[in-house]
Amino acid sequence: MQFNIEINNQQVSAKRGETIKNVLDRIGINIPTLCYMNGFSPSGGCRMCVVEIEGIPGLVPACSHPVSEWMKIRTHSPKVLKARKVIVELLLASHPDDCLYCERSGACRLQELAVEMDIHDRKYHGKREIIPIDKACPSVIRDPEKCVLCGRCIRVCDEVIGVSAIDIVGRGSESRIGTSYNKGLNMQTCVKCGQCIMVCPTGALTERSSLTSVVEALNNPELFPVIQFSPTVPASIAEEFNLKASKDILNIVRAALKRIGFRQVFDTSMAADLHIMEEAATFVERLNSNGPLPLLTSCCPSWVRYVEELYPSLIPNLATPRSPQQIMGRMIKNYIASSAGIKPESVFVVSVMPCTAKKYESGQDIGKEGSYRFVDAVLTTRELNKIIRLLGIDFSALEPEPSDTAFSMRSSAGNLFGVSGGHLEGLMRTIHFMLTGQEMSPLKLMELRGLKNRKEARVKIGKAIFPVVAVNGLAQMKPIMDEIISQKNAFKIIEVMACPFGCINGGGQKLNPDEKNLKSRMKALYDVDEEEMIKVSHKNPIVNDLYDKFLGKPGSDRNREILHVSRNTDKE
Amino acid sequence: MNQILIFCNMNKEVPVHILEKYPAGKRDGLIPILMEIQDEKGFLSEEVFQEVGRYLNIPANKVYCVATFYDRFRFKPAGRYLIQMCRGTACYLSGSTTYLDEFVRQLKVSPGGTSKDRRYSLEVTSCMGACDSAPVIRINDKIYSRVTPEDLVRIIRSLKEKTE
């Protein structure tokens, strides 16, 4: 039902069921928000968005208050402005004053609000409580003192990731965002995806930094530092440093990484090609031997942890190939190092990922062989940006540098790993080839593209039709997992990425992204698919070369040992 | 016993007869279940949250966090006598803090804690909803209302006698 309401003395049409905030957004009136998140259930907790309604005593939160016909709303009256200022002043009352040293400085919503509200001194002095920092988790560090209890992390953990690792503990003035029995994030169902970092308005949630160890390794003459970067990294760097997203961006990034001091630069896409080859072989084998289907992809460590923690009975359905990061690390240490006559222990493999869970993954037992890890340090895209600034790399002075290692040859299928649906698309291309000996035609699976949380496709291979689905945002998986357990699920392959829309929106990406950023990051990946000559993993010459000389056939025992993990299935 | 009860591995911490009364997967059963468990076991252990969560299909962490909202729930075993002192406005105005101090002094127990000999636990609770009878003290299941200083002396004396 449509009706008119009055906002700031203007007649505006509104619909029943809309919130005041919805109407304000439509007509372009900005009000400050803090706990509000577009697309999530409103909580109305922070009161930042309060407005004045004639006839209602007190102020109401615009984000959660529904509109009614009779309303006369004022969004910026003196009373409202004063209330908002006091709210921020009260939030600051017990906030540690360490903006200069805070990880979040510059991207902090609280800081922004203090500037917007023109706050220049501490008006209220709250009791500052000393609460220990929760730093047991290899990916996410929690500093409860900086928390403003907006609950954004809780909602993202509940509604998008579906693991509810954190929630409000206690009541009233004693409530804190916490974990059960105060045991630390590491002991929870947390999947380390880092989406809570992305939505945190302050520095209460940050990633565990590997900056120091990487800079140290760069300056250690006994080490041979090399770096691999995920397919999403070039687009993210271009975004951060305002570079034109062009064909050359890959070579410019390579030049920048060389300038930083890495001796060799690898593109993780090549390992993604290997991952696809092994995964396709696994699928074909399971199809022929009635193995556990649907096949659940295994490239996302958050997702793998989700299965291990919450659905251990479905661990056999997970694909067994290591994630591309781990494969690349292992290939560098086992193969490149030995062919260059360097000891694997002396090679320091850094990987740049749009992901915090990769930090957790690289420290797992499956990421080790003897005395060394396959990946020594994982940087998020954010951390790489910091290193670039720290070391004063000037992009305008860089000459694009073509790849100097054969290992950087990639197919665009491997490159598509960065976006939800892309991994599945690349995988289907190779499965089609393995089953029929012919290329899939057309190669593109348009049903699997686009910014949606669940994308289904029915892929025709030979005479058979394979229903497959790409899912992003782990919360979407709960009903599907229950279907699989009760054997009501017809999908043959399920690609899962924990973060909404995949790695392009990973927990290690630039903070506060908007939809435009996501679209351009996605476009960059699909553009590569248009331009690249090799569009399927099984045509990547390096991959084939590796199989010929080193690994044997896809799925063979030798590479099973190298490229696959064996998971403990009897956890419960 | 139904499938879900077996799946939830209930025999360990949560008495099956409590869960059976509530439908599985329905979250409205949460608070009553926790209350019954506490009545029977005296406190809520870590396993309780996991098992109840599994039964009701609520993440264990959420169950824990909901429970922390209520003063009623305990997370550690209490002493033989659980003394709950109401700190609601009416009780506060009629001197509940002085009474609290008296318990602390005489029974050697701190608010929120349990005495070393595990005889007494002392808790300060939010309003019990019996403001007309302020000040209110609850010891195990017995409620003492309109407690005077003389009553308090008697109460403490009888507690000491019972535990001697």
Distances in Å between the alpha carbon of B111 and those of A386, B79, B117? Answer: 49, 13, 15
Could you tell me if residue A228 is left (phi over 0), alpha (psi between -120 and 50 degrees) or otherwise beta? beta
A410-A416-A418-A422 Cα dihedral, nearest 10 degrees: -150
Burial of A79 (0-12, 13-18, 19+ CB in 10 A): middle
pLDDT at A317: 92
Please give the single-letter amino acid code of residue A154: I
CA atoms within 13 A on the CB side of B28: 2
pTM: 0.88
Is residue A569's pLDDT more than 80? no
pLDDT digits (tens, 9 = 90+) for A102-147: 989 989 999 999 999 999 988 898 887 888 899 889 999 999 999 9
pLDDT at A64: 92
> Contact B46/A181, CB-based, under 8 Å?
yes
Domains, chain B: 3-69 (1.10.10.1590), 81-163 (3.40.30.10)
Tell me the C-alpha distance between A409 and A42, whole Å. 47
The number of residues making up chain A comes to 572
Distances in Å between the alpha carbon of A363 and those of A139, A274, A452, A548? Answer: 10, 22, 32, 31
**How many cross-chain Cβ pairs, A to B, lie less than 8 Å apart?**
35
A163 vs B contacts (CB less than 8 Å): 59
> Contact A180/B69, CB-based, under 8 Å?
no
Write the DSSP symbol of residue A168. E
Q: How far is A37 from chain B (nearest CA, A)?
A: 21
Q: Which residue does chain B place closest to A478, by CA atoms? A: B57
| Cβ-based neighbours of A431, under 8 Å, separated by 6 or more | A280, A283, A284, A461, A466
pLDDT digits (tens, 9 = 90+) for A201-260: 999 999 999 999 999 999 999 999 999 999 999 989 998 998 876 777 888 899 999 999
Q: Which residue does chain B place closest to A482, by CA atoms? A: B57
Confirm or reject contact between B59 and chain A (CB < 8 A): yes
ipTM computed for the complex: 0.79
Write the DSSP symbol of residue A409. -
Q: How far is A170 from chain B (nearest CA, A)?
A: 5
Token pair in block for residue A527: 């553009």
A170 vs B contacts (CB less than 8 Å): 68-69
* pLDDT (mean) for A258-280: 91
CA R_g for chain A:
25
Decide: A281 and A434 in contact? Cβ < 8 Å. Answer: yes
Cα A272 versus chain centre, distance: 17
pLDDT at A432: 93
pLDDT digits (tens, 9 = 90+) for A321-355: 999 999 999 988 888 787 778 888 889 999 999 99
Distances in Å between the alpha carbon of B57 and those of A156, A237, A306, B25, B54? Answer: 19, 42, 16, 5, 5
Q: pLDDT tier at A572 (50, 70, 90 boundaries)?
A: very low
Token pair in block for residue A234: 């070039």
Decide: A185 and A165 in contact? Cβ < 8 Å. Answer: yes
The partner residue sitting opposite A164, judged by closest CB among B46, B59, B71, is B59
User: For chain A, what is the largest distance between any 2 Cα atoms, rounded to a whole number of angstroms?
Assistant: 81
Tell me the pairing of strands A50-53 and A72-74: antiparallel
> Contact B62/A167, CB-based, under 8 Å?
yes
H helices of chain B, in order, are: 3-7, 16-19, 30-41, 46-56, 60-69, 89-93, 96-107, 149-163
| Three-state secondary structure call for residue B81 | strand
CA atoms within 13 A on the CB side of B84: 18
Backbone angles phi, psi at A5, to 5 degrees: -125, 170
> Contact A180/B46, CB-based, under 8 Å?
yes
Token pair in block for residue A167: 């929630």
DSSP annotation string for A109-152: HHHHHHHHTT--S----PPPP----B--SSSEEE-GGG-----H
Backbone angles phi, psi at B117, to 5 degrees: -80, 5
pLDDT digits (tens, 9 = 90+) for A356-415: 999 999 988 888 888 889 999 999 999 999 999 999 988 888 888 887 776 778 888 888
| Three-state secondary structure call for residue B125 | strand
* Mutation target among B63, B65, B66, B69 for the A interface, most CBs of A within 10 A: B65
Distances in Å between the alpha carbon of A79 and those of A9, A86, A117, A426, A488? Answer: 16, 11, 13, 57, 57
Tell me the C-alpha distance between B69 and A450, whole Å. 42
pLDDT at A388: 92
The partner residue sitting opposite A188, judged by closest CB among B61, B71, B75, is B61
pLDDT digits (tens, 9 = 90+) for A163-203: 989 999 988 888 889 888 888 888 778 999 999 999 999 99
Q: Which residue does chain A place closest to B60, by CA atoms? A: A180
> Contact B69/A171, CB-based, under 8 Å?
yes
CA R_g for chain B:
18
B64 vs A contacts (CB less than 8 Å): 167, 169, 180-181
pLDDT digits (tens, 9 = 90+) for A502-511: 999 999 999 8
The partner residue sitting opposite B61, judged by closest CB among A170, A171, A180, is A180
H helices of A289-421, in order, are: 301-310, 324-331, 337-340, 357-362, 381-390, 412-415
Q: How far is B148 from chain A (nearest CA, A)?
A: 30
> Contact B61/A165, CB-based, under 8 Å?
yes
**Of the candidates A378, A374, A475, A386, the residue with the CA atom closest to the CA atom of residue A139:** A378
pLDDT digits (tens, 9 = 90+) for A461-487: 988 899 999 999 999 999 999 899 988
Decide: A268 and A309 in contact? Cβ < 8 Å. Answer: no
pLDDT at A555: 77
Q: Which residue does chain B place closest to A176, by CA atoms? A: B65
DSSP annotation string for A534-571: --SGGG-HHHHHHIIIII-STT-HHHHHHHB-------
pLDDT at B10: 52
Domains, chain A: 2-76 (3.10.20.740), 92-207 (3.30.70.20), 212-563 (3.40.950.10)
> Contact A189/B61, CB-based, under 8 Å?
yes
Residues of chain A with pLDDT > 90, as a percent, come to 57
Cα A173 versus chain centre, distance: 33
pLDDT at B1: 45
Neighbours of A572 (CB within 10 A): 7
Token pair in block for residue B25: 């997967």
pLDDT digits (tens, 9 = 90+) for B127-164: 888 899 989 999 988 999 999 999 999 999 998 888 77
Q: Which helix (H) or strand (E) holds A459?
A: strand A454-461
Q: How far is B137 from chain A (nearest CA, A)?
A: 22
Decide: A148 and A116 in contact? Cβ < 8 Å. Answer: no
For residues B6 and A51, the model is more confident at: A51
B49 vs A contacts (CB less than 8 Å): 180
pLDDT at B9: 53
pLDDT at A305: 93
B61 vs A contacts (CB less than 8 Å): 164-167, 179-180, 188-189
Token pair in block for residue A110: 């609280």
Burial of A82 (0-12, 13-18, 19+ CB in 10 A): exposed
